[in-house]
Structure formats: structure tokens, C-alpha cells
Amino acid sequence: MLGRDASVEVAPAITGPRAADRNIALNTGEKDGFYRPSQHLGRIREQFEREGKNAESFVRSHVRRLEALHRAGHVERLDDDHWQVPGDIIERGQAYDRARGGDSARIKTLASRNLEQQIGSDAATWNMCPRALERAFRAHPAARAVIVVHIYGLAADMDAILEVCRKHRAAVIEDAAEALGTLYKGRHVGTFGDCGALSFNGNKIITTSGGGMLVSDDSALAVSYTHLTLPTIYSV
């Protein structure tokens, strides 16, 4: 149900078979009916490297599609490199999409609040605007925490943001996932607020294929921090 003044994105209806389903069908063994991501990767790697494309990411997109079809009962997963795919996978894929509204335009809610209620970006930094943050506190005086995101390797105006947050007694959490190594007045972003979050996912500056780090000079906060993830829960 869309609310008034919401920001939405409208995507066209899915009118035919997905390219991923066609590729899966083409790369499924005729004799055993298995789709093997490693074999698919081997077939396309050389061509993708010549074209400057990421073959691993391309194959992962097909695995994500299989995971969705698996949840709907259309394919079976034996292990990471063996997916049992029926001969009518293209038709099943179309049926799956239709059941999820594939015949009509897809509407995705980007923001439930109107633009006046959102905290806008500062033209100088491309990050959170301190003036807009002040207006947001006036509209929501009960707010007790602010997440500042440093995007595209650019630092937010931390002096002004911290001044506003201290005035309203709000904690500051920095998301420096896209700005590891960025300095603000000679100091690394992620170290100004009560805590800072870093990411080591595969598309970030330093990668370990996944995971991240929480940094804080508040020892009590660091000890009590609990990271929730599936299927594990652990504290640091």
C-alpha cells in the first residue's frame, strides 16, 4: 500500500523469459540435468576477461536466480556446484515471475517520507547536510542516534554534524564502508562518532570476501556490541 508523497521506482513488466533462465538451460548437462556454476565460469572466463567483464559476478547472478527458484520448489540444490535443473526451466521461470506479478509493472518504494521530511545531501560533500539534520531534529526531537554515511570515498562535514548531534544529545554512528582511508582534517573517518562501521565485502576498498569491523574508543560499547547475522550470533 503506497502512502501519499512516497518516492517510488516503477520498472516495466517482465514480458518474456529471463536471460538468466536461458543461460542456465544452455549450461545444464543434457545427460545428468545438472547446472554447475564452476563449469559455466570456465566456459565464459576467457571471453569475459578479453571484454573486461567480471565472469564471477555474472555466474553468481545465475546462482541467485537458482536460489529463488529453489525456494519456490522449481530446482533442487545438491551442493554449491550441483543444481538439478528440469528441462522446462524456462517455462518454470516464467511461471514463477508471473506468480510474483511479472505481468504487471513493478513498483518499488524508495522512501515512505516526502522529500521535505528526508535529510538531504550537502552539495559540497555529497553527504549528510548538517542544516537538514537540524531541521530533522526539530521535526523528531525524540531521536537519539544518527547514522552518518560517508559515500564514494568522500567525508561528511563531521564538525558541523557532531555539533548538531551533541546539541540534541544523540549518539553518532559512522558508516565508513565506502571511505576506508579517507581523512577529514587529518583524521580517519569512522573515528569521530561513538562508533564507526567498516565493510570488507568484495566490492569494498579492502576485501575479505565478507565481514567488516566496528571501531570505537568506548571500551564499554565495544565489549557489549552484538553482531547479528544468519546463522550465527556473536559478540566482540
| Angle at 197 (CA atoms; ends 110, 165), nearest 5 degrees | 75
Query: Is it the case that residue 230 has pLDDT exceeding 50?
Result: no
Amino acid at 124: A
CA distances from 19 to 16, 22, 45, 68 (A): 9, 5, 18, 15
* pLDDT-wise least confident of 5-14, 89-98, 116-125: 5-14
For residue 101 the three cell numbers come to: 506479478
Could you tell me where the beta strands, DSSP code E, fall in the chain?
7-11, 34-35, 76-79, 82-84, 106-111, 145-149, 171-175, 183-184, 187-188, 195-199, 212-215, 226-228, 233-235
Q: What are phi and psi of 144, to 5 degrees?
A: -125, 5
For the cut 50, the answer to whether the pLDDT of residue 232 exceeds it is no
Strands across the sheet with 82-84, in order? 34-35, 82-84, 76-79
Over the Cα atoms of the chain, what is R_g? 23
Q: How far apart are CA 31 and CA 207, in angstroms?
A: 39
**Cell numbers 517520507 correspond to what residue?**
113
pLDDT at 115: 61
Name all domains of the chain by residue range, CATH numbers in brackets: 7-108 (no CATH), 119-235 (3.40.640.10)
pLDDT of residue 116: 61
- Asked if residues 100 and 133 have their Cβ atoms less than 8 Å apart, the reply is no
Element (H, E) at 220: helix 219-224
Of these ranges, 1-10, 17-26, 215-224, the one predicted with the greatest mean pLDDT is: 17-26
Q: How far apart are CA 51 and CA 166, in angstroms?
A: 51
- The yes-or-no verdict on residue 7 having pLDDT over 80 is no
Our CA dihedral for 108, 111, 114, 117, rounded to 10 degrees, sits at: 180
CB 27 within 8 A of CB 39: yes
Is the model's pLDDT at 196 over the cut of 70? yes
pLDDT of residue 226: 64
pLDDT at 175: 97
